[in-house]
């Protein structure tokens, strides 16, 4: 397996693959390859039967991996870590992989993530669409301990989530079952409001919940505000039916308990 972009999620995938006997090479800070070393990456592509990219698209919609190495991808199993944000806002309704890609940017143009998602699908990749990712070192528990967690007054707002180890488990299950190219959602079983997760984290830590605030009062970053601009429940059953995958952390409660 050659992994482009050995980041938070891809590192857990790499560890799971290596534990199963795979040889893994990767670009990224923790990888052994320099993405800009075209000769070195081309040699690694020559050795690879499988390729997975977790490199996000650029703001203009360009995909760095496809721009530089698309010619070396033919004939290999392809995987791509995408986002459930490509489904856009559904007003809290459920979406599965049959839903159209509607995530849009300025002027109604499809977002860079949606454009990259579509290009990888066209190449015959298994596109793993991920909701909010949490795990060791990156959860509401750390934000609560740092006094940086918020409860936002948006009744009816829900999100889907996935523990990083369930991403690794889902990708490994897809490989083992040799699922066909296409989109595959990796999410837990229970979409929930961020307030519910914050309040449960407070109970686990034995601390009071932060006050309820409006979006403006919370002073969130543009990226954080973007999460609250969409309201969506993500169905995860397709990979279960095809590969027998179920999340080890079916809800945020099991996930936070494991982190605690």
Q: What share of the chain is helix, strand, coil (3-state, %, to 5)?
A: 40, 20, 40
Contact 29, 41 (CB under 8 A): no
Give the domain range for residue 58.
2-259
Residue 108: per-residue pLDDT: 43
Contact 34, 69 (CB under 8 A): no
Distant-in-sequence, close-in-space partners of 235: CB < 8 Å, separation ≥ 6: 94, 95, 96, 185, 187
Residue 214's CATH number? 3.40.50.720
Domain count, the chain: 1
Please tell me what DSSP assigns to residue 154: -
Residue 106: per-residue pLDDT: 45
Kindly report, residue by residue over 51-110, the tens digit of the pLDDT.
999 999 987 778 999 999 999 999 999 999 999 999 999 999 999 999 998 855 444 446
Distant-in-sequence, close-in-space partners of 70: CB < 8 Å, separation ≥ 6: 123
Handedness of CA 171, 11, 131, 36 (dihedral sign): negative
Residue 110: per-residue pLDDT: 62
Kindly report, residue by residue over 148-200, the tens digit of the pLDDT.
999 999 999 999 999 999 999 999 999 999 999 999 999 999 999 999 999 99
As a dihedral over the C-alpha atoms of residue 116, residue 122, residue 124, residue 129, rounded to 10 degrees, the angle is 40
Kindly report, residue by residue over 103-143, the tens digit of the pLDDT.
554 444 468 889 999 999 999 999 999 999 999 999 999 99
């Amino acid at each position: 397996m050659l992994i482009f972009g050995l980041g938070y999620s891809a590192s857990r995938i790499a560890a799971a693959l290596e534990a199963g006997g795979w040889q893994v090479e990767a670009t990224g800070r923790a990888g052994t390859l320099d993405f800009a070393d075209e000769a070195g990456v081309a040699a690694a592509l020559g050795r690879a039967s499988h390729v997975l990219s977790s490199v996000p698209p650029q703001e203009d919609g360009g995909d760095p991996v496809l721009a530089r190495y698309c010619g070396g991808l033919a004939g290999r199993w392809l995987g791509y870590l995408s986002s459930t944000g490509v489904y856009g806002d559904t007003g809290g309704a459920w979406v599965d992989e049959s839903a159209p890609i509607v995530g849009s940017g300025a002027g109604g143009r499809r977002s860079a993530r949606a454009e990259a998602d579509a290009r990888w699908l066209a190449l015959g990749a298994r596109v793993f669409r991920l909701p909010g990712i949490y795990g060791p070192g990156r959860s509401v528990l750390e934000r609560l301990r740092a006094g940086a967690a918020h409860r936002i007054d948006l009744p009816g707002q829900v999100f889907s989530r996935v523990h990083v180890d369930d991403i690794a488990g889902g990708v490994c299950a897809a490989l083992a079952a040799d699922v066909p190219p296409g989109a595959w959602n990796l999410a837990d079983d229970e979409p929930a409001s961020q307030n519910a997760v914050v309040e449960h984290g407070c109970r686990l830590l034995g601390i009071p919940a932060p006050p309820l605030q409006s979006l403006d009062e919370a002073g969130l970053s543009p990226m954080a505000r973007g999460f609250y601009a969409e309201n969506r429940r993500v169905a995860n059953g397709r990979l279960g039916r095809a590969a027998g995958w179920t999340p080890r952390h079916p809800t945020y409660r099991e996930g936070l308990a494991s982190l605690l």
